[in-house]
Structure 1
Amino acid sequence: MPSHSHVSPTALPFPILIADIGGTNARFSIVVDSYAEPKTFEPIKTKDYPSLDAAIQSHVLDRTSLLPRAAVLAVAGPTDGDEIDLTNNHWVVKPEQMIEQFGLQNIIVLNDYEAQALAIVALEDEHLKKLGNGEKAERSNCVILGPGTGLGMAGLIHAANTWIPVAGEGGHIDLGPQTDRDLEIFPHLERIGGRVTGEQILCGRGLVNLYQAVAKANGKEPQFTTPEDVTAAAKDKSDPVAVETISLFSEYLGRVAGDLALIFMAKGGVYLTGGITQKILSIFDEERFRAAFENKAPHSEIISAMPTFAILHEQAPLAGLTAYARTPVRFGVSLDRRHWCAE
């Protein structure tokens, strides 16, 4: 029977299966060795496959002669336990079963935002769009924040000559009104447990929540019920409510990003990722975002020196997982109850 190992491996046996499993999409690649470009596969919708094992078999293994000997998975949800339920997805990850079914020697399961954080180390400048001022301090703490299906976040700490990803639930911190306009809008926002959290505004359904609240504050009937429709109306400027929604979204994201930057003292930068960021980048209000980010008296001077970036790489977590899989010793990743070995 497979067993847990609490020891971080100094090396994993190649080939290594890499998987980034989100709430909506799953992406796979196989790392053949320490140097070659990974073999990648087209992203899939998780709803199209009954299970992770079925997806690996039909979408990956049936399409290549490569037989993975290890796997490094990133999943959207808590990662401890022998059966890992995904937060916004019907799949259940069963590492022991996977080891036996696919003949793997090792499986490591990380949180999806740990993978996003690891990607910061692997990304080149060409994969980043700088938003506003600030300069990156090398070998310094970073924050990654991603409006997507939810609002994911993680820190990346540099200490003892290693990079340590810190998965967290910072997307659920409180977000309150500051301006007169906020006071008009916030009473109309749908709450969770009586609170307006970052994720109640800064994700796909949050964008709709914000749009509908802006419409109600204006005394208008909301026209749209999907983030795609709100974004499209903002892009073609056909709906003033949608245009303001994207601008406010940019500002509120700046506020939360600034809070997290102060918590982690993120002199290495704050990095925006997630599906919503990618979709609205062409109409993202950079100035409003950055002004909100820096509006952190009495520490505005400290935070104005921190840079902010949008990640342009569509498969950044795979890059992060690949960097980890090739040289685990570069990273201080806790593997307590997250590393399974074949006996």
Structure 2
Amino acid sequence: MELSLVADIGGTNTRVALAEGIRILPDTVRRFRNADHPGLEPVLATFLADAGAKVGGACLAVAGPVKDGVARLTNLDWTIDGDALRRATGAGSVAVLNDLQAQGHSLGFIDAVRTITPGVTQPGPMLVVGVGTGFNAAPVHDERGVRVVPASESGHVNLPVQSADMELADFLSQIHGFPSVEEALSGRGIENLYEFLTRTRRPSAQIIPAIGTDDAATRTAALFIRLLGAAVGNLALTHLPFGGIYLCGGMARALVPHMDAMGFAAAFRDKGRFGPFMEAFPIHVIEDDYAALTGCAAYLR
């Protein structure tokens, strides 16, 4: 079977692998530090040379907006398009996706999925919500055998706040210009919430392990999880994902053990008279670290 090249490009690292059909070949997965390379083309050329492989297709998942097949990374001065991908790989079929689009295309092809809020899965759209270095979400539609995952930049809308959260909204606005979802619900977001509650800064790598033993870290996590439930609830009403909601990203996976006790489901369903309606949506967490790579392979197929 013809091989394809798939890659997941983040702000710090790029992971590249070969795929056979939709199956990622685990022994081929390599990680490259972006700062060590002037652009993507030398990364892909090095990978293929070391692998001694020729590929018929290539697909990238990029942490940034993609328009007309051109990606500009949010946290890295790289611009990527189909022509650059063809030059670097020699592939005849190429595609550039937003990383959340790739996650959407992986649904149904990955097994490492944990259910955190049961519901009744029905035919209909699905929704992927990425909570990691940034925040984003994308609906997933299957129509007549074709999967469509529209691009989105959902992390840059206003944070859903209640009257008790207005001080937080003002705090985020003073620092970042306006209170976006991503400035509260991401890796740096949890640091912003900690600073809001304590007026001191602490890295997320120290906050998360301290949840449950340190009062400030525990209060920060509880605020994060309540706001996350409200934000995901808003997205559910926007897209009606009766096929299921899938959280992905490092922050989502790290906070899963605390979501039940800290009221994620209650915040998700806190929609007044629509509260009972919200019980229909099952919510899962994607625990497959190769999901974006699998989604790229599935898109090529």
Q: Which residue of 1 aligns with 2:238?
A: 263
Indicate yes or no: 2:146 matched with 1:162. yes
Q: 1:161 to 1:230 in 2, by over 3 A?
A: same
How far did residue 132 of structure 1 move?
2.3
SS of residue paired to 2:64: coil
AA aligned opposite 2:153 = E
Q: Which residue of 1 aligns with 2:207?
A: 230
Q: Percent identity?
A: 30
AA aligned opposite 2:285 = A
AA aligned opposite 1:134 = G
AA aligned opposite 1:41 = V
TM-score (norm 1): 0.80
Distance 1:47 1:94 in 2: 19
Distance 1:290 1:179 in 2: 20
Distance 2:167 2:70 in 1: 45
Matched residue count? 301
User: Which of 6, 12, 19 is matched with 2:7 structurally?
Assistant: 19
Distance 1:83 1:309 in 2: 31
Unaligned runs of 5+ in 1: 1-12, 217-221, 327-343
| 1:104-139 superposed Cα distances (whole Å, 9 cap, x missing partner) | 212111111110111123222xx11111231222x3
User: Which of 185, 199, 208 is matched with 1:202 structurally?
Assistant: 185
Q: Which residue of 1 aligns with 2:247?
A: 272
Q: Which residue of 1 aligns with 2:52?
A: 65
| 1:262-313 superposed Cα distances (whole Å, 9 cap, x missing partner) | 1111111111111212233334445511111111123222211111111111
SS of residue paired to 2:30: coil
User: Which of 131, 142, 153 is matched with 2:126 structurally?
Assistant: 142
Distance 1:164 1:186 in 2: 34
TM-score (norm 2): 0.90
AA aligned opposite 2:266 = A
SS of residue paired to 1:209: helix
Q: 1:96 to 1:177 in 2, by over 3 A?
A: closer
Q: Which residue of 2 aligns with 1:242?
A: 217
SS of residue paired to 2:67: coil
Q: 1:193 to 1:233 in 2, by over 3 A?
A: closer
Indicate yes or no: 2:267 matched with 1:292. yes
Q: 1:318 to 1:231 in 2, by over 3 A?
A: same
Contact 1:142 1:157 in 2 (8 A): yes
Distance 2:21 2:225 in 1: 41
How far did residue 38 of structure 1 move?
6.3
Contact 2:183 2:192 in 1 (8 A): yes
**Aligned ranges 1:213-228 → 2 under 5 Å:** 213-216=196-199, 222=200, 224-228=201-205
Q: Which residue of 2 aligns with 1:339?
A: none
AA aligned opposite 1:198 = V
Q: 1:119 to 1:101 in 2, by over 3 A?
A: closer
Q: Which residue of 2 aligns with 1:4?
A: none
Structure with greater Cα Rg: 1
Q: 1:175 to 1:97 in 2, by over 3 A?
A: closer
SS of residue paired to 2:178: coil
Contact 1:26 1:44 in 2 (8 A): yes
Unaligned runs of 5+ in 2: none
SS of residue paired to 2:75: coil
Contact 1:82 1:96 in 2 (8 A): no
Distance 2:84 2:240 in 1: 41
SS of residue paired to 1:153: strand
Contact 2:233 2:268 in 1 (8 A): yes
Contact 1:174 1:196 in 2 (8 A): yes
Distance 1:268 1:93 in 2: 32
How far did residue 151 of structure 1 move?
0.4
Distance 1:23 1:98 in 2: 18
Q: Which residue of 2 aligns with 1:128?
A: 113
